[in-house]
Structure 1
Amino acid sequence: MECLDCKNPYAVCRDVEGPSCHISVPMTTFYWFESVQVLGAYIEHVQSVATKENKPVGNPIFATRELLEYEVMIDHGDKRTRIHEIGWQRFLDEYAVRLGDMVYICLPRGNGRFFVEVERGGIRQLPLPCQ
């Protein structure tokens, strides 16, 4: 069954506690399952390496081209990967992310920082001006 608003399967557009089309869930409509599996596997790998090396595991940082950084939490389960926390909400607000936007997340090389970018209609979005 698919969402009437975004046409994605309910598992993609729906947060367990939230309404359908929760903005923090659908990053892309293409290869969604593979994307969350890669992100989840990467997170599990980083946590495993940190545990073996007896190092603390910090929260991931989303960094943008505009040199803005957002500390987020990423929970990975068998059926979904959830990005949340105050930093994620700040990112969504500052970039005015809305349904249909593409949020690209590039995996880092082990430093816990992810490069993120938002596109709307094929155009890279900039953060809203400070008030």
Structure 2
Amino acid sequence: MACPVCKHPIAICRDGQGAARDLRIKMTGHYCYFWDGMYIPCAIRHVLAAYIEHEEYEATRQNMKIWDPVMVTREGIQFEVKFECTETAIKIYGPGWNDLNDTYAVSPGYVIHIYMPPSVFTFFVDIERDGIVQVPLPYIAMEGLSIEKRQCIDECIYTRGQRLEYPEMKRMIKCAFSFSRLPCCIFVHKLSTCDVEGGYLRIPKRVIHQIENKTGPLQGEGTLLLLDGRHTQMESTFKKTHDDRMVIHGGFRAYANTMRLNVDDVVAICFETDDDTSTMKVWITIIA
């Protein structure tokens, strides 16, 4: 049976959890989680109602404008939601609420934590599943990018088996465009013992083909510049193998030590060719 007021099962309606500034609400089936919004369980509705009343009073007392509430996740993503308050129920709804559920792929069984700090209508939220705080879907990290940059990220080549979550994708995007407006190739790779301790980095032929499709054929061997986060340049050498792969060797060991690269680090390796000097620039950033 569902509560006719808050739409939650009776057990949750009567046994909501939460302190004065912390609400914990479980998404349960079709009673609680649906496109129109979510009702606050009856047992803890008074906590949110008292908070809203207090914040409205403070805003009025300080001659502040009352705006729609904003839910902020730990990643700093903001969602503007709406509250519908009556004498018997409180509902959270609106496009921002829908976006929050889409961004974190919320489904029945998830738990939403709502923290209410002493600030006007700003709520901090965590989305939890099986005790683990969830992160946004990876593609959310590309919001705000131009079409060219989105395409560049979409063409990123991954080491077999690698899959990035939102935090890693965000770091990769940040590093990809920190040195260049648009690198010709981005390669996400999990470092092996040969890479770090052997002193040479093997680049797959898929990466080389993508680079050559945009910049033209690479020489059989030559020099390139390895960059780090402080814009320091270190000269290195490379050579192409008979199967069209590339090996970066001379100077790579010193670069790995400078960057403090370790075995099993997941790194984003970005490639760019300088049109003026025809020099290949490579920068590596640890993302996980």
Which interval holds the TM-score relative to the shorter structure?
0.7 to 0.9
Query: What SS does structure 2 have at the residue aligned with 1:108?
Result: coil
Query: What SS does structure 2 have at the residue aligned with 1:13?
Result: coil
Deviation sequence 1:11-47 (CA, Å, 0-9, x none): 3336xxxxx52414266xxxx3342211111111111
Runs of 4+ with deviation above 6 angstroms: none
The aligned residue for residue 11 of structure 1 is 5
Query: What SS does structure 1 have at the residue aligned with 2:54?
Result: helix
Deviation sequence 1:36-89 (CA, Å, 0-9, x none): 211111111111222233221011110111111101111222221110111111
AA matched with 2:116: L
**Equivalenced residues, count:** 116
| Alignment RMSD (CA, Å) | 2.0
**In the superposition, relative to structure 1, how do residues 41 and 33 fare at CA in structure 2: closer, same or farther (>3 Å)?**
same
Unaligned 5+ segments in structure 2 are 9-29, 141-288
Paired residues of 1:105 and 1:116 also in contact (CA < 8 A)? yes
> Map of 1:98-117 to 2, 5 A cutoff?
98-117=107-126
The aligned residue for residue 53 of structure 1 is 62
The aligned residue for residue 77 of structure 1 is 86
Query: What SS does structure 2 have at the residue aligned with 1:105?
Result: strand
Compute the displacement of 1:99 (Å): 1.5
Q: 1:123 & 1:12 partners in 2: Cα distance?
A: 26
Q: 1:55 & 1:111 partners in 2: Cα distance?
A: 9
Q: 2:39 & 2:108 partners in 1: Cα distance?
A: 8
Higher RCO, 1 or 2 (CA under 8 Å, sep at least 6)? 1
Paired residues of 1:60 and 1:113 also in contact (CA < 8 A)? yes
Q: 2:48 & 2:7 partners in 1: Cα distance?
A: 17
The aligned residue for residue 38 of structure 2 is 25
Are 1:65 and 2:78 counterparts? no
The aligned residue for residue 190 of structure 2 is none
Q: 2:63 & 2:132 partners in 1: Cα distance?
A: 42
Query: What SS does structure 2 have at the residue aligned with 1:92?
Result: helix
The aligned residue for residue 40 of structure 1 is 49
Percent identity (aligned): 32
The aligned residue for residue 17 of structure 1 is none
TM-score w.r.t. structure 2 length? 0.37
Query: What SS does structure 2 have at the residue aligned with 1:66?
Result: coil
Q: Which has the larger radius of gyration?
A: 2
AA matched with 1:33: C
Query: What SS does structure 1 have at the residue aligned with 2:5?
Result: helix
Unaligned 5+ segments in structure 1 are 4-8, 15-19
